[in-house]
Amino acid sequence: MKVIVLGAGIVGVTSAYQLAKMGHDVTVVDRQPGSALETSFANAGEVSFGYCSPWAAPGIPLKAMKWLFMQHAPLILRPKVDMAMLSWMAQMLGNCTSARYAINKSRMLRLADYSRIALAALREETGIAYDERMQGTLQLFRTDAQLEASAKDVKALAADGIPYDVLDPEGCIRVEPALKHVREKIVGGLLTPKDETGDCFKFTTALAAKAEDLGVRFNYGSIIRGLDVEGGRVRAVVTAHGRLEAEAAVVALGSFSPLLVRPHGIRLPVYPVKGYSLTIPITDASRAPESTVMDETFKIAITRLGDRIRVGGMAEISGYTNDLGEPRRLTLQHSVTDLFPGGDVSKASFWSGLRPMTPDGTPVIGPTTVAGLFLNTGHGTLGWTMSCGSARVVADLVSGRKPEIDATDLSVARYS
């Protein structure tokens, strides 16, 4: 079929690659001059197959209230008269129960583990290098309360057969030797050893080149105006440069996906939650992390990417704004220098991106009420983690095949 993929981030490019492998005639459309130049550009670098949890969890509403008054808050809320924001927040609060948490986390772990297998296969077949490491994620606890609260995650990991290890401070230092300099700040950790790290931008741009080798066309610098739908079926994508005829279209526009599909009666509860990152050159390898350390106190990931450290995190609910606030930079600097003192943060580059979040934390993958129109969006902080598995699922669905994992509860129909 003639398939158009809307969006050239990590989710769009992996989707295009898998569709091309299945023999489809694929065109990717994106407003940017190249691939991975928005949310995929400088994310935290985690590929978190095990450290994979919904933000909507029991106790989060109370924590959120406390976070709003912290100097280095993991959550920043800038409320406004925005019905999409208010509806999304209300739905998220509705998912902050033990029962919903268990369901949502199980969905996420299922897709993430499938993506682990898909990424390994893709890496082997393409030989792409992207500063990858396979040394796990260490969720670091500074308080006994944090350690005790991790019991629900341990239970979910065990139920889904995901390897993990609960560590004491000495165990944390064995995994991440540089933490020996801050031993007194650590009470324990949760290691998910199957997790990986890597530069999402490097991976996406390299895979886009491989996709071009398979015949995929990339229409960069092309603003998408809308969809042409006739008789309940998608017929074309309308861009600033004209119409692109299509037998199927895959929407992988991240936070902007709801704006495109809303005129066609599709209610997609995806909302932008801004995250920030610093990229810092490593000046002393003995004081840098080996893989990813997740600072549970500030919800900030500190990841080694080759000769750099990527520090990423925070959740700012402020709509479609992408400004860089100096207080956010100071929070990232505080976390990384507190755990890994000695780095030169004056040389860091500062970035922000809009994560496409769903209220339940699970992405939306699958068909819509418009024939030929498919979604692959709403991955939140886990687009890099889930991209390769999501691409396989959506490529199977577009091709009329049954996916290798159960994807029935991933579609937008779960919100109807």
Q: Annotated binding residues for FAD, as ranges?
A: 3-17
Nearest CA-CA partner of 309 in 334, 275, 343, 286: 343
Instruction: Please name the amino acid found at residue 276.
Output: Y
Beta-sheet pairing, 137-141 with 242-245: unpaired
Q: How far apart are CA 277 and CA 124, in angstroms?
A: 29
List residues forming the annotated binding site.
3-17
Q: How far apart are CA 390 and CA 257, in angstroms?
A: 16
Q: Write the DSSP symbol of residue 403.
A: P
Residue with tokens 């199927």: 248
- Tell me if 237 sits within 8 A of 249, measured CB to CB: yes
Half-sphere exposure of 2 (CA within 13 A, CB side): 8
Structure tokens at 398: 């577009």
Nearest CA-CA partner of 7 in 414, 413, 378: 378
CA distances from 121 to 9, 18, 46, 387 (A): 20, 12, 18, 13
Q: Report the C-alpha dihedral over residues 63, 69, 75, 79, rounded to 10 degrees.
A: 110
Burial category of 322 from C-beta neighbours within 10 Å (exposed 0-12, middle 13-18, buried 19 and up): middle
Nearest CA-CA partner of 182 in 340, 333, 345: 340
CA angle 238, 2, 237 (to 5 degrees): 10
Instruction: Please name the amino acid found at residue 224.
Output: I
Residue with tokens 């390769």: 388
Q: How far apart are CA 331 and CA 345, in angstroms?
A: 12
Structure tokens at 257: 């996906």
Residue with tokens 């981030």: 9
